[in-house]
């Protein structure tokens, strides 16, 4: 069950086409999952036919591949290498143009209306984290605010977690509880294919009524709940968060960090796929004619040596120090900074690490090492 705006609705699977059509007619730039280059990625979609129907993703530490499903599920995968973050914090944004004649132009080129289709509860939590940092902190980020202003969110509850998912132990899933306009649970049973839908806003309520959704029956609601509860029993990974921040602070010199650094390539894949990482660098671009200069913000990673460069060199020159910085920030110092953890349990950093470094395993090693020392 979700804390929805309304009572649950029944939405036939065929009505999903009308949902996307309605959003486009309302002027939304509709973003959803599509299959491309052997992965489920995010892109603009114009029709339901572009969704990865009948596909699932098989994931493991350093492993990702697609396989066909037999049931024709629209959302039978978990998460791909991209999150919806890229539409709110673009990889590269022009911030300012300064002209020789004294004219300055501030650039905030956000999409007017965005619709996110198929967002999972882990990524939905990530958006709420970014909202707190970029919208409700002491300073509001104008690029993020512009992109986030008119976002319509259709969340999909997870019923089949992947091997690397651990959102259940992070209290970020598998069910979307808030932050959505519509949440869907896809049900395929006994030849029937439908969604149980909740609206989380007046806009969501209106859309469901316009596409012909009807109140869900008790049987339909029970079938959806059963699938979610069954999915909760399928998680293979977990992260023990009990006293985790204090545990990490007490073990900043743990040999675990040196051991993992022997495998870490400092490739930055984990930060690239993370739905909450937002490290960036500011670049000034000059032109030969000298008439103007541009200032750009580019996404960066704390795994690059240059990211922590100050006069005299990088303050984190080793892979060990850079991995430890990322690990501590995600699971400890982020909580001190923003009042919440920086990890949502999506498991992407595990899947897309070329050597399969597992953040849950590394945290467990530190906990086990402390127990042995005591």
Same domain, 190 and 98: yes
Give the C-alpha distances (Å, rounded to integers) separating 162 from 39, 172, 241, 371. Answer: 14, 15, 20, 30
Same domain, 333 and 214: no
4 is a domain residue? no
Same domain, 205 and 254: no
Q: How far apart are CA 84 and CA 143, in angstroms?
A: 15
* pLDDT, position 108: 67
Q: List the structure tokens of 294.
A: 């541009």
**Crossing angle between the packed helical segments 202-210 and 16-25, to the nearest 10 degrees:** 120
Same domain, 222 and 288: no
Going 12 to 15 to 17 to 22, the CA torsion angle's sign is negative
Per-residue pLDDT of the chain (374 residues; tens, 9 = 90+): 345 567 899 999 999 999 999 999 999 999 999 999 999 999 999 999 999 999 999 999 999 999 999 999 999 999 999 999 999 999 999 988 988 887 777 776 666 799 999 999 999 999 999 999 999 988 899 999 999 999 999 999 999 999 999 999 999 999 999 999 999 999 999 999 999 999 999 999 999 999 999 999 999 999 999 999 999 999 999 999 999 999 999 999 999 999 999 999 999 999 999 999 999 999 999 988 888 899 999 999 999 988 888 888 888 889 999 999 999 999 999 999 999 999 999 999 999 999 999 999 999 999 998 655 55
44 is a domain residue? yes
* pLDDT, position 302: 93
Same domain, 143 and 206: yes
306 is a domain residue? yes
* pLDDT, position 100: 85
Are β-strands 104-106 and 29-36 bridged in parallel, bridged antiparallel, or unpaired?
Answer: unpaired
Same domain, 41 and 154: yes
237 is a domain residue? no
The answer to whether the beta carbons of residues 223 and 18 sit under 8 Å apart is no
What count of other Cβ atoms lies within 10 Å of the Cβ of residue 210?
12
Where does a domain end: 187, 207, 232?
232
How many domains, in total, are found in the chain? 2
Q: How far apart are CA 356 and CA 263, in angstroms?
A: 9
Which percentage of the chain shows pLDDT scores above 70?
Answer: 96
Q: Could you tell me the residue range of the domain that residue 214 belongs to?
A: 9-232
34 is a domain residue? yes
Same domain, 183 and 81: yes
């Amino acid at each position: 069950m979700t804390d929805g705006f309304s009572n649950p609705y029944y939405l036939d699977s065929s009505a999903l086409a009308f949902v996307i059509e309605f959003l486009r007619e309302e002027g939304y730039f509709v973003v959803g999952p599509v299959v491309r280059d052997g992965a489920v990625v995010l892109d603009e979609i114009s029709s339901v036919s572009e969704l990865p129907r009948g596909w699932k993703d098989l994931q493991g530490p350093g492993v990702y591949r697609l396989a066909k499903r037999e049931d024709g599920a629209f959302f039978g995968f978990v998460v791909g290498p991209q999150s919806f973050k890229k539409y709110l914090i673009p990889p590269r944004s022009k911030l300012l143009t300064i002209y020789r004649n004294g004219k300055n132009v501030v650039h905030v080129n956000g999409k007017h209306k965005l619709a996110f289709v198929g967002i999972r509860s882990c990524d939905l939590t990530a958006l709420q984290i970014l909202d707190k940092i970029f919208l409700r902190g002491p300073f509001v980020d104008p690029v993020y605010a512009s992109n986030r202003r008119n976002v319509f969110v259709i969340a999909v509850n997870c019923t089949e977690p992947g091997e690397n998912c651990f959102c259940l132990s992070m209290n970020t899933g598998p069910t979307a509880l808030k932050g959505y306009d519509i949440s869907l649970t896809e049900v395929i049973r006994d030849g029937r294919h439908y969604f149980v839908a909740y609206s989380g806003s007046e806009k969501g309520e209106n859309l469901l009524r316009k596409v012909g959704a009807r109140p869900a029956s008790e049987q339909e609601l029970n079938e959806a709940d059963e699938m979610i509860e069954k999915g909760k029993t399928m998680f293979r990974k977990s992260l023990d968060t009990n006293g985790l921040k204090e545990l990490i602070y007490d073990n900043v010199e743990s040999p675990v960090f040196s051991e993992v650094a022997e495998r870490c390539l400092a490739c930055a894949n984990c930060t690239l796929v993370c739905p909450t990482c937002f490290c960036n660098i500011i670049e000034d671009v000059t032109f030969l004619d000298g008439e103007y200069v541009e200032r750009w913000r580019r996404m960066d990673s704390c795994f690059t040596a240059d990211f922590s460069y100050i006069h005299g060199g990088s303050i984190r020159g080793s892979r060990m120090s850079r991995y430890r910085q990322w690990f501590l920030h995600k699971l400890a110092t982020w909580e001190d900074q923003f009042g919440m953890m920086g990890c949502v349990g999506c498991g992407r950093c595990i899947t897309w690490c070329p050597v399969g470094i597992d953040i849950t395993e590394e945290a467990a090693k530190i906990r086990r090492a402390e127990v042995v020392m005591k």
